[in-house]
Structure formats: C-alpha cells, structure tokens
Amino acid sequence: MYQHIRRSAYHLAEGSEPWSEDYRALAFPEHWHAGLLELHNHGREEEKRRPTLPTRRLDGVLQTLAPDVIVRPRPRVPVEPVPEQSPPAAEDFWMYVPASATDPLPERSLRQLLDAWLRTLGPKGAGQNPEFRSVLLASSTDLKRNLPEWQPVTGVELLTGPVTPGGTAAPDPRQFQLATDALARRILSLDPYRFEGGELHFRAVPRGPRDQGAELMSQPLCRTVKRKEWWFSVVLNISLHTAPFDARPRLHLHWGVRRWATHPRATAKRLNLSYREATTVYLRPTIPWLPGAPATERYALARLRRDRAADTFAWSENDTAGILRGLSLAGNFPDPEQLLAEPGSWIGEGGGVRAAVVHSTRMGKHEIGTGFMPNQRAQLTEWAEQALPEPVVRVPDLKRGRGKGIGAPGNRRPKPRTDEARKTELLRETQARRANLAAQARIADSAPHHSGPPLVEVRLLWQSPEVRKEAVAQFAHALGLDGDGGASAAAITDRDFDEARPGAPVVLEWQTEELVLRLRCLPLADGLGDRLVPDPTVKGKGAALSAAIVERRRALDSWLRADGADPGRPELALVEIAHRSTFRPSTTDPKFAVRLGCAGAGVLTQFVVTPSTDRQIDNADSIGHRTHSSWLDGLRQLGVRVLPQHTLGDDLPDGLQYAAVWMVKRRKDGPTRLPKHLPVAVLATPLPHATGQAAVRGWDDAAGEWVPYPRFLLGLVKQAEIDPEACAEPDPQGDGPQPSAPRVTGKQWRTNLAQQRKETAAFIQRVLHSLRDQPTVLITHAQNSRLHWPWLQDGRIERDLIRTGHAPAGRLDDELRLVRVRGCGGRESAQWWGLADPGKPHGQPAGFWTETMMSQSGASSGDRIFYSTTERPGTHAVSPALDRLATRVNAAGNLTSQAGTSAWNPTLLEIAVLGCHANNDAGALAPGRPDDAEALALTVHQLRQAPDYAAALSLPLPLHLAGLAQAYVLPMLAEGDVNSAGVTAGAAAEQDQGRTTDNDSDPDLMDAAGLTTEPEGGDDEG
C-alpha cells in the first residue's frame, strides 16, 4: 500500500533567499483615456455609451506580438473596501518585460499595433463614416506623439510578501503573473521532453491579464486510432495559489491534453461548431506578425463566431483576430470556411499561419483520450522540475493520517467476493432500504399513526413500452420485492397500461413486513412530455417561450392532481423523457417545465431517457441499469439515505450532526437567470439506535425552520422564477438578429454582488442560530461559496473565528465547528500521485492524508489542513502506467499507442478545519479534552464514502445533498440526475469525453456541477 503521495506544488525553501527578477516596466498612459473614450463612443446613443475603454483586445494582441511582454490588468473597483489590515500593494505597471530581453516592442511595431487597435474601437460599421475616420486620424496622431517610455524595475520578489492576520500568504497581485511567467520561461529553455518515439517542443500561449497564470503547449501530435488520424497537444498550466494558514504561496504545475478538431461532419462537410458560443482557434505564424518585430514563438488565440445574416462563421472582429487580420499577415490569415472544411490541412507544419480548432464534446467523439495517468504525470513533472530556481522546492510529501487503510467509515459498503455473499448483501441492502423508506413515510405522515405498516405510493410516467417494463422490474429489484405487483393475477395487459388515465392508473402493489408499496403507472400522454412549442401569437421570442413553460407547468400540475397527487404529501415520480439532443433549440426541452409542474403537485421527479439507437442506449442491459439507478436516486430524494458512520469514537462530541451550505447560482444561459443567487442549507442528523440512518432536512428560510428533505426540495421550486428575456436563444434556423439580455455594467455587477453578500450573511446568521443546541460541523465549499461569503477566502480566514457580515470576526458558538473543503476547480488542488517503490509505476491510492509544516518560529502551520482521496469507480479501471505519448512497434510490426484511452484521476480534496475548540475553551469536547482537528477532518473524509452509493462522492454527503438541491432551482443544470454510482450523467460524459472548459467559463459554475466523484486533470477544451 502506498504510504505517501507527492504533489506538483512548489514554494520557497524555509530560510532561503528570495527569488527575484529584474524587469523593465511601462506605465499605462492615463492621458490617453479621455480622447480614446470619445473615439470609442463616437456615434453611440447616450444610453449606449461605454464608461471605460476596452483594452482587453489590445492586451491580448500585445502578448501575442511581443512574446516577452507581460500585460497587467488596469485596476478594478473592489466590491467592498479593502480591510485595514491588508498589506499595501507594491507599485504596479501596465507592461513588464524581463530586463534581459532586447527591444521587446520596436516603436514601428507599436505604432502599427495601435493603429490596428484604434480601428476596432468604433461601433460596427463606423469605419465607413468620414466623421469617424477624421476622429480616428486625430486620435492616432495624438497617441504617436505621446508614446510611454520603459523604466527599470529591479529586484522584484516573486514568491515572498506579507502575511495576513490569519497567518496566510498574501501575494502581491502582480506575482500571480510574474512568478508563473518566470517559471514558464525557464521551462521553455530546457531541452525537449523526450519519450519513446518522439519529443515534445513547447511554446507559450498568450494569457489575458486576468488569467493569472502561464500556459505552455506542445506542438500538435498525430495518432492513428480506428484507421483515422487524430491530433492533440500536451498542455502545461502554471498557477500561483495560497493555502490556509501557510505563509508561503505555492506554484502548481498542471498537465492536461488539448484535442484538435480534425474531421468535418459528413453531412455538412464542415466542423460542427456551436451556434451560440464562440469557438477557440490557436494560430501560429511562421514569420513575424509585424515587419521589424521580434519573431514570436507564442501561439495566438482567435475565435470564430456565427454570422447569423450569412449563416456562416467568421472571425470575431472584437477579438484578437480583429486586429491580427489587419496586420501584414492578412493575406495568409485562414479563411474560416476553408479552415472548417479542411481542418487537418492547417494543423502541423506548413507555410503561412498554422491553425488548429479546439475540439469540444458538442462536435462529437474524439478518439484521443483525455488527461494523464499518475506515472506519466510524474515523469512530465520531473522533467519540468529541472527549471526550478534554486530557492524553490517541492512542498513536503503527504503521509497517511489516522484511520486504517483508506479511512473508511464504520458502515463501509462491503465488497462481496462470491455469488452467495452478493445475494446476502443485496438482501440486506433492500431490507434496509425498505425500513428507511418506511421511517421516512412515518415522519412525513401528518395523519394519526395506525398500527399497520405505512403506505407509500410512487408514480411511473412512461412513454415507451420498453422503459415501462424495465422500470417496473427495476422498482421491484431496487426494493427487494417479490412478484410483479399483482399484474399476472389481475391479468393486466399492455392495452390496460396504454389506456390508463389520471384517476384510473394501472396500480401495482407489494406488501412487505415494513410497508405497503403502490406503483401507479400512467402513460405521459397528451403531449406532456413533448418539446415546448412557443405560442406564435405571443409577442417576443422570450415571452412566448416563457408562456409555453408556464402552460406546460400548469398542465402537469392539474394532470397529477387529477390522479390524487397532494402537495402536502411529497411523492416520487419516475418520468421518461427524450434525450436533450432531441430538442432543438435547447430551450424547447420540456424537462424544466415537467419538473416544476410535478413539484407544484407535490411530486418529486427523477428522469430516465427514452431508448435511442443513435445514442447506443437501446439495449436491455443499458435500460435496466439506467432505470435501476434512477429509482435509487428518486428514493434518495424521498430521504432514503445512509449516513457514513465515523470511526472516531469519543474523539468527537456525542450526537454530532453535519450541516452544509451551498450557493445556487443562476446560469447565464438558463431560463431562471436572475441578477441574484440563492443560498441553501442541508442538515444530516444521525438517528439514535439506527446505525447509518439519519434525518436529512433542509432549511426553509421563509418559515425559519428545518424541514424534511423532500419538503425542502419542493419548497425550492418557488425560487425557480422564469425570466422571459433570459429564455431568448439564437435560433440556428432564424433570420436576422436575435434578442439578447441587457448589458450589465461593472457598477451594476458590483452593486448586485454587494447586495447578494448582505443576503447571504443574513441567511448564514439565521442558519447558525438554529444550530446552537447540538454539536454541529458546518461544511462549506471554497470555490462555490467564497464569492458570496468572503470570509471563506484564504486571505480573510483566521483560526477558530467566524465572520458572516460586516461585523468583526468573533469566536465560534460553543457547539459549532467550521470546515471548508476545496477541490480541483481553478487548479487550486495540486495534481498528485502515490509514490511507488523503485521500478514500479506510481499510483492513485485512496486515503486520508496529512502534512506537518513547521515555520521558523516553530509553530505548526499544517495541523489544520488535511487531504482526502477516494478509490476509483470500477468503470474507470485504467492502468496507472498508461502512456499517452509513446508509439511502439507491436508484434505484428505495426505502430501502436495508448493515445485513445482516457485517463482518470481522483481529486485531491483539501479539508481545512477553519474553526474548532482546540484550546479547551467553553465549547471543547470535555474538560481537559480540546477538539481534535484531525478527527474532525477524518469524519469529513468518511462522509465522502456513502454506503448507498457504488462509488465515492467528490464532496462530503451533506454538501453533496445541498448541491443536488439546485436541480429544483436550476432544473436545466441537471441534465442527467445523479445515478447510484454517484456520478452525474454530465460528469460521466466529462470523464469519458473530457471537460469542455472554455477560457471564459466561470470556475464557480463549473465546480457547481461537479457534485460527484470527478476526474482531475482532464481535457482543457474550448
């Protein structure tokens, strides 16, 4: 068993000299602003005038044309005042260049660049306006007379700086770019990375001023898979991060794969690009972009967008491409239609500009696998480590913490090895499930208790006979029920199922010792499961779609009430629905309306997809597995949960319960988009004398009380308001411009966020007040919640204190403990691998891990930070020694490689015990027994291993449940609900196909969808 794991994270050695570099810097010429802003707003109506100058595209081109220039963002207005104790920031500049670089941006090149940028500032079509051209000429002349000058800046320290009052490093903002760029340059100076059959040559990728890191990418590599050629590149991201209570910032190396779109769609004869979103293209010139400018080894980024009027794709004029095309290489710039029709001819070596279109999963399957397994990841990292400056060293390896083996809970899911043992375990699981369901039914039953077993009714809303038959069988299988529910005895035929109607369904019934189960089977008829059809008489596309959603919602509500559904008695329905790809455009998908309509009638919903040959899910095994998983997930919504039982004994308070807070955030493209968010909270309380059983409740903020989980989910539907304007979507078949949401200014965004933070603070205060009577661990998620709860940021936290609003931080309530977890979102959790014995491949051990880091003062700074890894699901049994790069000759004399196999790595989850009673204060475990932070962290690790899931969760169970609640606020987000393996359909697709993370993606939103065991270090697609 692996005893240590290693991370690709680096910091300054204890007591070493600072790592510093010399630069030349250029201040932003603020005297340009007024004149250029007038040019930018020329011809605009008063209400459409822009308050600031858009320098993003200029910054992007600067980093492309001048390979040694580092461009910093202009200062932004903070959402709230900077705390008084925050250290003062060093003087910053617009551009930096290493002092050793010669003539980074010749004056002639700078003049040409500024001319090209100025032409993009005016409104569309302004270039044909003689008045605008006159203003443009005047602005250009003024700029060239007042060009800024470079000045020396020496001894810039890259990894040292002040420390917050909480003992956490507070890097200077410019260090996030300068330190990562400096390391990237050192890596580029290394010899190529050699592997069996070739070598990797890396180039830098331009990073925007707010990207806060550096990126290197190899040349495109070609592999033949299934008799076709497929292209990909190796990507190295370098980023700077902090860790709670650690005074030294860390550099992370993150390896990934970027796959290139290679094969056009057979029908359209071109790549299948998104109609709604821009597609990223990487460009590489073979000669300098500008005459007289230094040759650049960097890639350039450009974007293709759909031109609705011509129904073609064109280069985005308001992006880097809009400037590059106006320069001297315009004649060699790729023609969009030719690039999309013959993408392979532009990849690799050749004359002129080379171009590669980033593959995304919407384009179809790519035969190159994603990510790297641990052994090759370790090899790549060891090569890059040669570039580390002398003062920078790897962070200490992690060792196993307390707890045996993988740190499993006391009621860990067993792994039967024989058929007889599997049958016994299945019988035990189904009996426990029925007992749990009966207990939840008694809790939810407001009527006087009777002596007999409780009655539980469940609905099956089906559309195809195949799914109906399998759903009935799997319902019985999931609950260990004998027989067919009386169908044979009553001679129920297919015609009876087809003719069932609300109030007269086909009812199947099973009686067990624990409860009576009835399955009401109804065909989802009358178009209730069909695509939404906007009413053409309603003016406005968004309003028409909104009306269609409301109409379907009301129809489902009335339909279910006619069948006896009672909003005061939560029930469950398994609903068969077509795959989302069937509905085009996506806003016609009825799942949103179906879930809301069912919830209005008091019915929770779980969906199963109709079989389809196109999606290769029409075989019986697939239908059976999907329906079985859906039933288990539906039962979990009813509160049938098994809580992992901790193994800490008296090291934790008696009756310890677990609360979790989650921030539900509106999707920018979803029908519930509103300028606000919604915090939710879930509480799991172990039931006495019932091992593994828990009362799962959610916080009803309107009533100010904890309510059963099913009632909590149904209550959230009230928050799913529909914004008609947000429903508008560009129609691929439509003509002319489409409606769009109004532009939100920076000032409006800051005002909205400040208000949301106030609402979040009030919400958290109400939740905390309700938890004062019983020992509670409050679990939060860094990437999901820190934007709205700023206290969770590394730069704000202080040990054993808490702050929810503007009031100063105060001590924790006696019964409260605060734990924050952090995953791989934003690459904040380092890549890792288990250290193997010499000669053996590095692996992926599961377990609970700890580190001990001593500061110069002798105080331990690592006694509050722990790490959690889990076992890989059986569906991802990939060898840790997988080699994605090598090409070898097999026994038949043919070249072969493993490039087509996708890698899968469990996330290294950081567990930070931010607050506990470790100093034997009033809230300590017992007199003379202070809290044990490691014990608290271990129980959070064990909460990831829920026995009723076939695979471990990416988050502790209470946080997982809180995140799942967003499906009733953002129904469009949960395309495939979580299955019994603990992996969402969306997450499973990401694991199989690779993440589709575009450079503009919101990391919090990406992380919000990752509720279950997730891959780390997959594709980095656009």
| Residue 281 half-sphere exposure toward CB, CA atoms < 13 A | 31
Question: Is residue 303's pLDDT more than 90?
Answer: no
Where does 814-863 show beta strands of DSSP type E?
A: 816-822, 832-834, 847-850
Best mean pLDDT range from 117-131, 241-255, 738-752, 864-878: 241-255
Give Cα 818 distance to the centre of its chain: 23
Question: Is residue 31's pLDDT more than 90?
Answer: no
Q: What is the DSSP string of 801-820?
A: EE--SSSPPEEPPTTEEEEE
Tell me phi and psi for residue 361, to 5 degrees: -65, -25
- Nearest CA to 684 out of 953, 429, 934, 946 is that of 946
Confidence of residue 17 (pLDDT cuts 50, 70, 90): very high
List beta partners, residue 776: 657, 816
Does residue 1003 or residue 483 have the better pLDDT? 483
Whole-number percent of the chain with pLDDT over 70: 83
Residue 1017 backbone zone (phi > 0: left; psi -120 to 50: alpha; other: beta): left
List beta partners, residue 869: 847
Label residues 978-1017 b or e (16+ Cβ within 10 Å = b): bbbbbbbbbbbbbbbbbbbbbbeeeebbbbbbbbbbbbbb
Per-residue tokens: 827:
């690459």
Identify the pLDDT of residue 971. Answer: 55
Residue keyed to tokens 């499930």: 433
Per-residue tokens: 690:
């019932």
Does residue 593 or residue 1013 have the better pLDDT? 593
List beta partners, residue 198: 195
| 127 CB-near residues (< 8 Å, 6+ apart) | 119, 133
Exposed, middle or buried by CB within 10 Å (0-12, 13-18, 19+), for 260?
buried
Q: Which of 166-175, 232-241, 254-263, 669-678 has the lowest mean pLDDT?
A: 669-678
Identify the pLDDT of residue 927. Answer: 58
Question: Is residue 173's pLDDT more than 80?
Answer: yes
For residue 878, the tally of other CB atoms under 10 A from its CB is: 17
Q: Strand order in 300-307's β-sheet?
A: 312-315, 300-307, 279-284, 354-357
Label residues 180-195 b or e (16+ Cβ within 10 Å = b): bbbbbbebbeeeebeb
d(CA 408, CA 645): 9
State whether residue 95 is helix, strand or coil: strand
Identify the pLDDT of residue 386. Answer: 98
d(CA 240, CA 221): 29
d(CA 242, CA 721): 38
State whether residue 1020 is helix, strand or coil: coil
Identify the pLDDT of residue 1011. Answer: 36
For residue range 531-546, list pLDDT tens digits in order: 998 888 888 777 788 8
Question: Is residue 5's pLDDT more than 90?
Answer: yes
Identify the pLDDT of residue 987. Answer: 29
For residue range 717-744, list pLDDT tens digits in order: 877 665 554 444 444 333 333 344 445 5
Question: Is residue 392's pLDDT more than 70?
Answer: yes
Tell me phi and psi for residue 549, to 5 degrees: -65, -45
Q: Which of 118-122, 268-272, 354-358, 1016-1020 has the lowest mean pLDDT?
A: 1016-1020
DSSP 286: S
Exposed, middle or buried by CB within 10 Å (0-12, 13-18, 19+), for 707?
middle
Identify the pLDDT of residue 34. Answer: 76
Identify the pLDDT of residue 315. Answer: 85
Q: What is the DSSP string of 490-526?
A: TT--HHHHHT-BTTB-EEEEEE-SS-EEEEEEEE--T
Identify the pLDDT of residue 236. Answer: 97
Identify the pLDDT of residue 1004. Answer: 28
| Residue 579 half-sphere exposure toward CB, CA atoms < 13 A | 13
Q: Which of 392-396, 491-495, 620-624, 973-977 has the lowest mean pLDDT?
A: 973-977
Tell me phi and psi for residue 766, to 5 degrees: -65, -40
d(CA 379, CA 370): 17
Per-residue tokens: 55:
């320098």
* Bond from prior residue into 585 cis (ω within 30 degrees of 0): yes
d(CA 854, CA 245): 11
d(CA 957, CA 975): 21
Q: What is the mean pLDDT of residues 766-795?
A: 95
d(CA 881, CA 870): 19
Q: What is the mean pLDDT of residues 694-713?
A: 93
Write out the H or E segment, with its range, that includes residue 558.
helix 541-561
Question: Is residue 503's pLDDT more than 90?
Answer: yes
d(CA 968, CA 954): 21
List beta partners, residue 642: 693
| 588 CB-near residues (< 8 Å, 6+ apart) | 531, 532, 533, 534, 545
Q: Are strands 801-802 and 776-781 parallel, antiparallel or unpaired?
A: unpaired
Identify the pLDDT of residue 240. Answer: 96
Identify the pLDDT of residue 85. Answer: 55
Q: What is the mean pLDDT of residues 915-943?
A: 82
- CB-CB contact of 96 with 69 (8 Å): yes
d(CA 817, CA 931): 9
Q: What is the 3-state secondary structure (H, E, C) of 666-684?
A: CCCCCCCCCCCEEEEEEEE
Best mean pLDDT range from 398-407, 578-587, 687-696: 398-407
Does residue 929 or residue 459 have the better pLDDT? 459
For residue 650, the tally of other CB atoms under 10 A from its CB is: 10
State whether residue 33 is helix, strand or coil: helix
Per-residue tokens: 480:
């260990």
pTM for the model = 0.89
- What are the helix and strand counts (H, E) for the chain? 21, 38
- Nearest CA to 236 out of 256, 266, 220, 207 is that of 256
Q: What is the DSSP string of 220-258?
A: PEEEEETTEEEEEEEEEEEEEE--TT-SS-EEEEEEEEE
Per-residue tokens: 596:
């809301």
Identify the pLDDT of residue 990. Answer: 25
Q: Which of 103-112, 396-405, 441-450, 889-898 has the lowest mean pLDDT?
A: 441-450
Q: What is the DSSP string of 563-588?
A: TT--TTS-EEEEEEE--GGGSSSGGG
Confidence of residue 989 (pLDDT cuts 50, 70, 90): very low
For residue range 332-366, list pLDDT tens digits in order: 678 899 999 999 999 988 777 899 999 988 888 89
Where does 103-169 show beta strands of DSSP type E?
A: 151-157
d(CA 765, CA 788): 14
Using N-to-C axis directions, what is the helix angle for 620-637 and 709-716, rounded to 10°?
Answer: 100
Q: What is the mean pLDDT of residues 797-826?
A: 93
Compute the mean pLDDT over every residue in the chain, rounded to the nearest whole number: 83
Per-residue tokens: 440:
């939840």
Residue type, 145: R
Identify the pLDDT of residue 761. Answer: 95
Label residues 594-615 b or e (16+ Cβ within 10 Å = b): bbbbbbbbbbbbbbbbbbeeee
Write out the H or E segment, with its range, that includes residue 609.
strand 603-609
Confidence of residue 1006 (pLDDT cuts 50, 70, 90): very low
Identify the pLDDT of residue 730. Answer: 43
- CB-CB contact of 756 with 766 (8 Å): no
